[in-house]
Every structure is written in structure tokens, then in C-alpha cells.
Amino acid sequence: MQSKYYELTMHIKEADFVEFIADFVANISGDGLEIGRNNIIVRSESDLSPIEEAVRTLISTLGGAIAIEYKMEEKENKDWIASYQNSIEPIEAGKFYIYPSWYEAKEGKINIKIDPALAFGSGHHATTFSCLDVIGTRVHKGQRVLDVGCGSGILGLAARKLGAKVELCDTDPISVDSCDKNFELNSAEYEELWEGSANQAQGEYDVVIANIIADVLKFIVHDLTRATRKDGILILSGILDKKEAQVSEVYAGLELLERKQKDEWVTLVYKKLD
């Protein structure tokens, strides 16, 4: 253990965006996160400047809509990594059992192993939990599935373990690398994985999954609907309940099959009619 470690604190003015930013950071960082009402703290023995830069880039792509203050500090080291890991426990979401590497797989469940450093990409977040629940009932063997904004790859992994042929993409290269490693960790294979979004997808899919945020879902509506085949399923998540109407409006041409809400987060399941 090194004598020093780095601590990056991000103060987010609007508390509604804390979990979204935490989800993003968890998917690109191999270190522990501490999450408060308006703060996210990342700690690592490695330089955290790339994490800060990645968040700044994300905010820029969203038009600077999220105000964040950043503070980087160097501190005396302690065994905070072990303390963080010990606080993460397995979780059941529908048919799936998501567990860190020091736990055993669970009989009778579809097991997905995700390292604890990726807690917000491991089913604990309300949107991931709801998506896993939907995937367990809507995805079937042999289907072609696209996971847009794949992050840790957990949703694509769930679809693959159900026998689907899975393709994944994310605009962040670190997330793409994290996804690849998690597929390897689970001895699972994907068909394609690329840095980018749904506009680069080839052909049509039986199921398209996009667990992002409302503003991005509105922005890429045409890409997502184009990628979904006729009578195919489109799973949208990462939607704060207060923004649900905005998303529903732009996807009004699809048939709403199912709505799930966990905490303040909404997941919508659509069927493409034509």
C-alpha cells in the first residue's frame, strides 16, 4: 500500500443528477465511490485527473446542463478500499443474482459476477435493477440484442446469459474496456462492442436497451427506434419521474407495454409497431 492516495470530490448542485454521475464514474473507475446527497467522492492510489476529465467531457456533451464543482486532494493512505468492498453485498434482481468475486454463485439464479468497484453498475442502482427485471421477462434465446450506453456491460451480460446474441456500445472508451473485462470475468462472449452510439448499429434488433438519462434518450430517439425491428422491444431507463412526460412525448409513436418505477427512477418498455 502506498503512503498517499488521491481524493476527488465532486459537488453537484442538483441532487437529481448525483446517481447519474455516480453511475458514469463507477463504470470508468476501478476504485471506490462514496455518495452523498450532493457529493461524490472518488479515492484511489492512482491519479484521478482522467476521471475528472471524463466527467467534464460528459457534461460538455450534455450541453453543460449539470453544474459540478471539483476538488482534488492528496491524503494519507488507509485501507479504505477494503472497507468499501466489505460494504458491498450481492443483490437479486428478477432472475439474476449479481455478486462480487469473494461471494459464491447462487443456485437457482442466473449468476453475474461484477467486481465491487463497479457498485453502480452492479444492480444496486434503481435503473439497473429495473432493467434486469425487465430483461428477465422480455429477452429470449436467439434474439439479437443491443445495449446502448453499456457501461459495465451488466445488462448485456444478463441478455447473453439468457441466450441472446448481444452487441454493446458506449461513447466512453473506459466503459467499453470495463464492459469487455466484465464479459471476460463471466466467461461470456458478445457479438460486437464499439465506442460510439446507436447510430453506428448495423441492421435491426429484437431488443434494444438504453439505460442512460432522459435528455440523451430524447436526443437519440431516431437512432434507437431505427435500430429496433418491427414488433421489437425497446427498453428505456435512467428516467427521473419528473422527466418521464418529456420522454413519453418523443416516443409516442411506439406502444407502451410496461412501466416500472423504483424510487424516483422510471423504466419504460415499448413495442415498435412499424
- In angstroms, rounded to a whole number, what is the distance separating the alpha carbons of residues 12 and 188? 36
128 is in an annotated binding site: yes
Q: Provide the greatest CA pair distance for the chain.
A: 61
Contact indicator for 12, 21 with CB cutoff of 8 Å: yes
- The answer to whether position 92 is within a domain reads no
- In angstroms, rounded to a whole number, what is the distance separating the alpha carbons of residues 97 and 108? 9
DSSP strand pairing (110-113 vs 96-99): parallel
Residues 143 and 262 reside in one and the same domain: yes
Please identify, among 42, 57, 84, the residue that sits at the C-terminal boundary of a domain. Answer: 84
Edge-first strand order for the sheet with 265-271 is 192-195, 165-170, 144-148, 205-211, 228-240, 265-271, 255-262
Residues 263 and 143 reside in one and the same domain: yes
At residue 1, the pLDDT reads 54
Residues 149 and 212 reside in one and the same domain: yes
User: Splitting the chain (274 residues) into consecutive groups of 10 residues, what average pLDDT does each group show?
Assistant: 80 84 77 78 87 90 85 78 68 91 91 66 73 96 96 94 97 86 95 96 97 90 97 94 93 97 92 93
Please identify, among 44, 59, 84, the residue that sits at the C-terminal boundary of a domain. Answer: 84
Residues 156 and 255 reside in one and the same domain: yes
Cell numbers describing residue 232: 421489437
- The answer to whether position 97 is within a domain reads no
Residues 141 and 266 reside in one and the same domain: yes
- The answer to whether position 235 is within a domain reads yes
223 is in an annotated binding site: no
Residues 153 and 266 reside in one and the same domain: yes
Residues 165 and 263 reside in one and the same domain: yes
Residues 142 and 267 reside in one and the same domain: yes
- The answer to whether position 152 is within a domain reads yes
Residues 63 and 168 reside in one and the same domain: no
Angstrom CA distances, 215 to 1, 43, 49, 233, stand at: 41, 29, 26, 20
Domain with 171 in it: 137-271
211 is in an annotated binding site: yes
Residues 163 and 261 reside in one and the same domain: yes
- The answer to whether position 184 is within a domain reads yes
Cell numbers describing residue 147: 445495449
Cα first-last separation, the chain: 58
- The answer to whether position 126 is within a domain reads no
Please identify, among 84, 102, 124, the residue that sits at the C-terminal boundary of a domain. Answer: 84
At residue 114, the pLDDT reads 85
Residues 238 and 173 reside in one and the same domain: yes
| Cβ within 8 Å of residue 86, ≥6 positions away | none
Q: How many domains does the chain have?
A: 2
**What's 21's domain CATH number?**
3.30.70.270
Residues 218 and 141 reside in one and the same domain: yes
**What's 142's domain CATH number?**
3.40.50.150
Contact indicator for 28, 175 with CB cutoff of 8 Å: yes
- The answer to whether position 100 is within a domain reads no
CA 151: distance to chain centroid? 5
Full-model pTM: 0.74
232 is in an annotated binding site: no
- The answer to whether position 106 is within a domain reads no
Report the DSSP beta bridge partners of residue 192.
167
- In angstroms, rounded to a whole number, what is the distance separating the alpha carbons of residues 143 and 257? 19
Q: What's the burial of 204, exposed, middle or buried (CB within 10 Å: 0-12/13-18/19+)?
A: middle
